[in-house]
Structure 1
Amino acid sequence: MANQEQIIQSLARTPLYQLGVELKARLTSFGGWEMPVQFSGISREHEAVRNTAGMFDISHMGKFTLQGKNLISQLQPLVPSDLSRLQPNQAQYTLLLNPQAGIIDDIIVYYQGEDTTGTQRALIIVNAATTNKDKAWLLQHLNQDEVQFQDISPDKVLIAVQGPNAIKYLQTLVQGDLQTVKAFGHLQATVLGKPAFIARTGYTGEDGFEVMVDPDVGVELWRKLHNVGVIPAGLGARDTLRLEAAMALYGQDIDDTTTPLEAGLGWLVHLDTKGNFIGREVLAQQKATGVQRRLIGLQTQGRNIARHGYQVLSAGKIVGEVTSGTLSPTLGYPIALAYVPTQLATIGQQLEVEIRGKAYPSVVVKRPFYRSKNRVTN
């Protein structure tokens, strides 16, 4: 018991932590943080995001600002995506790769444009558990004489307002037209009379926004959204939502031993339009010869849930492992992601998953498992 108390006391807390306590949220340890896993129940929170609107405290995520006269060209060798295509107020979901093309982290680069002096500015959002690793990697590879790097992670609150009615609830508190913001677009705006960064991004498969503000503004924004009916949601619903949308979770579905081509993230690899970048040789080879394994979507028979770490079987032999799995609240049946040999990754392929010592029939299905009709596109 003493050890458990010591662990809890050592966990970081976001500026919105006390709001979770007030709402009697169930808390859990996640990536070194004490975070709400649920407020009113995972199913209710999940349903709110799919049908109306929910909000998440994602202040634990890493937040870096960068500026410099050659910022984009400095970042280009660090990611497989062509950042030179970004226009001001556009963003790119991409990856930091090691020399073996393993994924150090999945990140979003928000390009804010260039001022009259030629200085380019960007915001990078990274995963909470990898913030220090990512920071060290970026500082190691960027020319710090040319790029000013600032870690603003502790200084800002980040709230994700997600769901088909997210814009309706948020717009009343924002000075600036959110309807003009396209998917992966962003803008500097005013929230409750204070400066804010707002992006049309999220991790739920629904339309929505992520709002970055000072901590005191974040607390007031959370309260006002709650008062008008936006449902507070925790990590439990965030996980079921992102899994239905087949969005990878770093540390489970992708890590520094998986490459983008193995993970089904080949659309982020722009070999034809950009020059050299870390991991390029490995990816070029994999594209030419094919990968040995792939991340697949699985649907398991009945209501038997294939959890992280469960073994995938073919003809009674172990061929892979489940990375994420849940009972889909929207679809009503179990879904999972798993790595298997490429020859078994065809849609319709019959496999089995070992659950509590018994093999259950499963079939490879198309990803994403669920596609919202409410999402905006460019």
Structure 2
Amino acid sequence: MSNRWCAVVRCFVVGPIGNKFAPLGDPGRQSYEDSLQVFEEVIQAACQQVGIDPVRADQIAVAGEITEQVFRHLFEDDVVIADVSGGNPNVMYELGLRHATGKLTIQIGEFGQLPFDVNTVRTIQFSRSPRGLIDARNQLERALQAGLLDGQDVLTATRIFQESGEGKAEIDLPLPEPSIEVDGSDDEPGFLDNMIEIENQLALMTDNADGVASSIEVIGAVTESVGAELERAAQSGASNSARLALISKYASEISEPVEMLEKSSADFASNMTSINDGVLSVLGVIQNGDPSELPEGWDGFLDQLIGMAESSREGMEGLNTFGTAAEGLGSLSRQLRGPGRKINNSVGNMRKAIAKIDAWERAARSIKHKAANNPVG
């Protein structure tokens, strides 16, 4: 199956989370194990067949308030897959919120554990056996393919909410009161001046993001090459000294791109911090102003913020992979502790930055939503 939807479709998964830290035999631990099995063997496996990377609430990489992040995913993501097994109250609440959006939502649930509240909505049912989970995975894959191509039938709840206008709720974010006047004094920069300056800074941030992506690409290529050599060495029964020599070679070859990665990510975060107040202020002016009176280009500015957020998230996916791998580098050899630490620093820099960029994107989308539903004239 072609990964034609990869890095385009955002998919959020709701389901029982349980408690992975509870002792064995505890109901919370069992709930965690059961839901994780469904996620890995059914949901994630089916999504990967169509090139989608599903995310659970406990896997969100960006720091922030969990409740708000969940609501954002429910409102904004292209696809939501809900495991309704057992009728978990949080799952049912989140599913209800999602139904109000009218966006593609697919339900799955273990046979015999479906709550009556959703029994009128088509649900992929499964038995918790190897064959049952495989069948559910195949059904979910087909449902995703059909839904992404043709959409879904409008549910009664969706129709009622949208007919009354309540299903098109706008997201109001706490932007600052406008501190930049369109007609300012001679000594103060005007709205357009500030917007152009921010756009210039965003261009620098794009260069930094490109540097991060380029570094990841180089590190990935070196990792793949040396990884193949290590595998051949292991198969041939090479000595530990020989394998250590390969690790030393790896540490040397990734040294420069790791340095570049750390610098680019630090510059990206620094530039973001320096313009954050200005961006929020400009967004406040746009949000509170009359679109017909704003200088030309304000809507392009919003698109630029949205585009940067989307590309940053895509880059963060690759960086998260390296961050996870970097955690184990130091255990292989002390020569890899420095690179591993720098990769982790880079992950931290980007996570902090993207948390703020996500806030820009939410505000920009909210403003565009309002403009689309309240056209001038």
Q: Same fold by TM (over 0.5)?
A: no
* Higher CA-based Rg: 2
Q: Compute the TM-score of the two structures, normalised by the length of structure 1.
A: 0.25
TM-score (norm 2): 0.26
- Bigger fraction of residues in helix: 2
Higher relative contact order (CA 8 A, sep 6+): 1
